[in-house]
């Protein structure tokens, strides 16, 4: 019996095989490009063995030097804390971005992590090694995640059930609990989004090959799968966008008056906005259009469903911060008055890092010059911004608290004099209380940098991103990362360069994911065709919203022109994936008719899959194009 598959469906199946093979090859190439020999498990085991040796060596050295038992135990404890942080190389939470939400989840559920009177405060969570995050704010004496609290609150409900049923926590079993929640939330959101999208593809596509190509692109060639390993807002936002678009198509294109579609559109459209605030550019005009088209269903189903999400969003934000504005809206760039505590912490930290300064006179002289120059810079910065520079009483205390220096800061000269006296006294006491040995000639420079950091912004309680806090497990004073962001977080100074890289450069929407070129072509095809007015309107709506959001991100202040931070793609536009997949359909259908156009489409698909697969284990890494540009010395 001949089973050569000549049953009329062979071309379709061969097309499916080709698409899947290309995607598999693209995923493999991406991982090959990022292959590395680092084995974190072996590295952690190695550090643990080395830590034991270093602790034994330190104990022996202290005992030979006849150190007191108290000093021996204190130094061993400090050394042990540092070694533990170095040894702990493995954790399932991959960056400060996703840990920020995990911290809130723990604070809401674990009793020992809760702060009385501040249910969303993460003060206790960040005191544990490896639970630090840069994505946090401080106000009213507590630190909080900078992420909107609604999504972490929903995750906390899920975590509460897991914790109550099993008794385990994210601290005791981070891999078990973390991976379980990632599967439930990320894989669940991806599957739901793709299932809904498959209906749209069937409804709006016209060829077998084009439909299969579009679904393959949605499943394997978008950064949504890359971000499946971390808790993030982009995956649920994309799923919401797919459901919202599905309901909108049923209402607008199919003239359905069924109440469930208005409920779906209202609820998931609002939840989309709660995860991606720029999505208001889609939700607001769509709401108006639906109100005009079907006022009864919009007012009685769509609006109440959206109101549920709105109340939850603003309600959780109010409980967390007593403010209707999200935490990240409380950020300003302006000079900050020096606080007594900030100066004390800065100098203490400097002395802890400085070793044993022996040349007291030289250190004091260098310190006076360094502080005079730096405080003058801060003072001048305040004058240029037309702000009053208020310097409260300076109180600088040395490491052991034996020498204190104070100065009433009535004007700039008093400020300088107080700082000079304080650092000189601190250096003298540090030299007198330690044995000669490791002199650090750069003490003044270190102290100057720390205090300049503490005096870098104006006293403004609304600037929640300007803070410092004391970390108990290692005794360090940690200042806000956002005072002096590093690398890509500094922002792109030239808006033209930023736009270039966002579109076709190292974070380019079309250079990293060239399959979206077909989405632009497909949208234009629908816009200029004359047969179906509603398809034209759908393409115009998606194109307009895409353009508005893109312009919004390109016109942000320089500090926000950071490509989404240290990430594998321009993540603020990831939620458009379902919308762009739909507009890709007419282009994919058209390219299915010729062999060479199918080959071209597959090349675009494979390149997109490479970009998706390149961040092998962590989406919070640079795109392959940025790594390549850096290797060439272009950036």
Is the pLDDT at 265 greater than 70, yes or no?
yes
% pLDDT > 90, the chain? 49
Assign 99 a pLDDT band (cuts: 50, 70, 90): very high
pLDDT, tens digit, 9 for 90 and up, residues 65-94 = 777 777 777 777 777 766 666 656 556 788
Pairing, β 394-397 against β 404-407? antiparallel
pLDDT, tens digit, 9 for 90 and up, residues 534-584 = 999 999 999 999 999 999 999 988 888 999 999 999 999 999 999 999 999
Assign 479 a pLDDT band (cuts: 50, 70, 90): confident
User: Using only C-alpha atoms, what is the Rg of the chain?
Assistant: 29
Lowest-confidence segment of 131-135, 292-296, 421-425, 625-629 by average pLDDT: 421-425
Give alpha helix (H) positions in 408-478.
412-432, 443-454
Assign 439 a pLDDT band (cuts: 50, 70, 90): very low
The pLDDT assigned to 125 comes to: 94
Assign 290 a pLDDT band (cuts: 50, 70, 90): very high
Assign 33 a pLDDT band (cuts: 50, 70, 90): low
Mean pLDDT of 464-475: 77
CA distance 57 to 70: 17
Structure tokens at 476: 């360090």
Within 8 A by CB and 6+ apart from 365, the residues are none
Within 8 A by CB and 6+ apart from 345, the residues are 454, 468, 470, 477
The pLDDT assigned to 389 comes to: 39
Lowest-confidence segment of 89-98, 299-308, 309-318, 427-436 by average pLDDT: 427-436
Structure tokens at 159: 């975590």
Assign 326 a pLDDT band (cuts: 50, 70, 90): very high
Mean pLDDT of 453-461: 46
Among 448, 395, 404, 455, smallest CA distance to 426 is for 404
Assign 366 a pLDDT band (cuts: 50, 70, 90): low
Assign 386 a pLDDT band (cuts: 50, 70, 90): very low
The pLDDT assigned to 454 comes to: 47
Is the pLDDT at 41 greater than 70, yes or no?
no
Domain range summary for the chain, segments of one domain joined by +: 48-87, 179-325+490-632, 340-459
Mean pLDDT of 197-207: 92
% pLDDT > 70, the chain? 72
The pLDDT assigned to 87 comes to: 57
Assign 469 a pLDDT band (cuts: 50, 70, 90): confident
Lowest-confidence segment of 173-177, 365-369, 465-469 by average pLDDT: 365-369
Structure tokens at 607: 């390149």
Assign 50 a pLDDT band (cuts: 50, 70, 90): confident
CA distance 568 to 512: 9
DSSP code of 115? B
> In Å, how far are 207, 338, 341, 391, 419 from 409, measured between CA atoms?
77, 10, 15, 6, 10
Mean pLDDT of the chain: 79
Lowest-confidence segment of 224-233, 354-363, 597-606 by average pLDDT: 354-363
Lowest-confidence segment of 74-88, 279-293, 518-532 by average pLDDT: 74-88
The pLDDT assigned to 28 comes to: 60
Q: Can you give the pTM of this predicted structure?
A: 0.76
Nearest-10 crossing angle of helices 533-554, 234-252: 150
Largest CA distance in the chain: 101
Among 593, 619, 453, 588, smallest CA distance to 523 is for 588
Assign 341 a pLDDT band (cuts: 50, 70, 90): very low
Q: Phi and psi at residue 456, in whole multiples of 5°?
A: -85, -15
Within 8 A by CB and 6+ apart from 326, the residues are 148, 277, 317
Within 8 A by CB and 6+ apart from 312, the residues are 150, 153, 274
CA distance 449 to 447: 5
CB 354 within 8 A of CB 363: no
CB 317 within 8 A of CB 326: yes
Is the pLDDT at 384 greater than 80, yes or no?
no
Among 580, 573, 568, 578, smallest CA distance to 611 is for 568
Is the pLDDT at 195 greater than 60, yes or no?
yes
The pLDDT assigned to 480 comes to: 82
The pLDDT assigned to 468 comes to: 78
The pLDDT assigned to 433 comes to: 41
pLDDT, tens digit, 9 for 90 and up, residues 129-179 = 888 899 999 988 899 999 999 999 999 999 999 999 999 999 888 888 998
Nearest-10 crossing angle of helices 412-432, 360-384: 150
Assign 296 a pLDDT band (cuts: 50, 70, 90): very high
Q: Report DSSP letters for 145-213, one per residue.
A: ESS-SHHHHHHHHHHHHHHHHH---TTT-HHHHHHHHHIIIIIHHHHHHHHHHHHHHHHH--SHHHHHH
Own/partner pairs for 215-219, CB < 8 Å, 24+ apart?
215/581, 216/19, 216/20, 216/23, 216/605, 217/515, 217/581, 217/584, 217/605, 217/608, 218/194, 218/577, 218/578, 218/581, 219/194
Among 347, 431, 440, smallest CA distance to 395 is for 347
CB 613 within 8 A of CB 27: yes
Assign 45 a pLDDT band (cuts: 50, 70, 90): low
Buried b / exposed e across 581-591, counting CB within 10 Å, b at 16+? bbbbbbbbbbb
Strand partners, 64: none
The pLDDT assigned to 348 comes to: 53
Q: Is residue 618 helix, strand or coil?
A: coil
Strand partners, 51: none
The pLDDT assigned to 425 comes to: 52
The pLDDT assigned to 445 comes to: 47
Look at 416 and 287; give whichever has higher pLDDT. 287
Mean pLDDT of 502-511: 96
The pLDDT assigned to 588 comes to: 96
pLDDT, tens digit, 9 for 90 and up, residues 589-607 = 999 999 999 999 999 999 9
CA distance 171 to 109: 12
The pLDDT assigned to 501 comes to: 95
> In Å, how far are 95, 379, 399, 421 from 430, measured between CA atoms?
37, 29, 7, 14
Is the pLDDT at 338 greater than 60, yes or no?
no
CA distance 134 to 566: 12
Assign 455 a pLDDT band (cuts: 50, 70, 90): very low
Assign 395 a pLDDT band (cuts: 50, 70, 90): very low
Lowest-confidence segment of 3-17, 488-502, 519-533 by average pLDDT: 3-17
Assign 503 a pLDDT band (cuts: 50, 70, 90): very high
Instruction: Identify the burial level of 313 via C-beta atoms within 10 angstroms of its C-beta, where 0-12 means exposed, 13-18 middle and 19 or more buried.
Output: buried
> In Å, how far are 118, 567, 632 from 507, measured between CA atoms?
39, 9, 16
CA distance 384 to 370: 21
Count CB atoms within 10 A of the CB of residue 295: 11
Count CB atoms within 10 A of the CB of residue 178: 20
Mean pLDDT of 343-363: 50
Structure tokens at 294: 């079907």
């Amino acid at each position: 019996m001949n089973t050569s598959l000549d049953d009329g469906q062979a071309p379709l199946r061969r097309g499916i095989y080709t698409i899947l093979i290309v995607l598999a090859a693209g995923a493999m190439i991406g991982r090959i490009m990022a292959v590395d020999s680092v084995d974190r498990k072996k590295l952690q085991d190695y550090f643990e063995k080395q830590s034991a040796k270093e602790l034994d060596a330190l104990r022996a050295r202290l005992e030979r030097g006849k150190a007191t038992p108290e000093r021996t135990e204190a130094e061993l404890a400090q050394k042990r804390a540092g070694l533990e942080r170095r040894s702990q190389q493995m954790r399932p939470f991959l960056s400060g971005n996703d840990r920020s939400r995990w911290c809130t989840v723990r604070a809401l559920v674990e009793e020992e992590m809760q702060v009385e009177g501040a249910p969303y405060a993460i003060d206790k969570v960040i005191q544990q090694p490896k639970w630090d995050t840069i994505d946090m704010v401080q106000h009213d004496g507590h630190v909080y995640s900078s992420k909107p609290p609604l999504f972490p609150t929903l995750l906390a409900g899920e975590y509460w059930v897991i914790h109550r049923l099993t008794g385990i926590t994210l601290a005791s079993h981070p891999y078990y609990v973390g991976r379980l929640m990632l599967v439930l939330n990320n894989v669940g959101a991806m599957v739901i989004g793709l299932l809904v999208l498959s209906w749209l593809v069937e409804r709006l596509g016209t060829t077998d090959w084009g439909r299969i190509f579009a679904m393959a692109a949605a499943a394997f060639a978008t950064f949504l799968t890359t971000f499946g390993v971390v808790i993030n807002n982009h995956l649920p936002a994309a799923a919401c966008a797919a459901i919202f678009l599905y309901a909108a198509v049923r209402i607008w294109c199919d003239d359905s008056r069924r109440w469930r579609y208005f409920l779906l559109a209202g609820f998931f459209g609002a939840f989309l906005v709660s995860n991606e605030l720029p999505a208001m550019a889609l939700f607001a005009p769509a709401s108006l259009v639906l109100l005009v088209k079907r006022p009864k269903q919009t007012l009685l189903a769509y609006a109440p469903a959206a109101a549920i999400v709105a109340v939850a969003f603003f309600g959780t934000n109010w409980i967390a911060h007593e403010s209707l504005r999200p935490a990240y809206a409380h950020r300003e760039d302006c000079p900050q008055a020096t606080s007594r505590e900030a100066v004390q912490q800065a100098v203490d930290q400097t002395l802890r890092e400085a070793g044993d300064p022996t040349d007291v006179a030289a250190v004091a002289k260098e310190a006076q010059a360094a502080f005079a120059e730096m405080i003058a810079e801060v003072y001048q910065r305040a004058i240029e911004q037309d702000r009053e520079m208020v310097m409260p009483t300076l109180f600088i205390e040395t490491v052991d608290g034996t020498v204190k220096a104070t100065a009433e800061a009535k004007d700039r000269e008093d400020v300088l004099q107080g700082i000079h006296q304080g650092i000189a006294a601190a250096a003298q006491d540090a030299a007198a209380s330690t044995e000669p040995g490791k002199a650090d000639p750069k003490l003044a420079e270190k102290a100057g940098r720390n205090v300049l950091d503490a005096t870098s912004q104006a006293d403004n309680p609304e600037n929640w991103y300007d803070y410092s806090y004391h970390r108990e497990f290692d005794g360090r004073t940690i200042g806000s990362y956002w005072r002096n962001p590093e690398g890509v977080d500094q922002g792109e100074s030239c808006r033209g360069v930023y736009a270039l890289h966002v579109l076709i450069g190292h974070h380019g929407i079309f250079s990293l994911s060239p399959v979206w070129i077909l989405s632009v072509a497909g949208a234009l095809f629908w816009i200029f065709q004359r047969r179906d007015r509603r398809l034209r309107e759908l393409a115009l709506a998606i194109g307009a919203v895409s353009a508005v959001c893109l312009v919004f991100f390109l016109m942000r202040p320089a500090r926000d022109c950071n490509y989404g931070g240290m990430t594998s793609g321009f993540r603020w536009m990831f939620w458009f994936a379902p919308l762009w997949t739909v507009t890709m359909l007419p282009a994919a259908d058209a390219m299915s008719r010729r062999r060479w156009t199918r080959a071209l489409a597959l090349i675009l698909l494979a390149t997109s899959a490479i970009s998706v697969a390149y961040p092998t284990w962590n989406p919070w890494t640079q795109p392959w194009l940025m790594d390549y540009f850096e290797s060439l010395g272009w950036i």
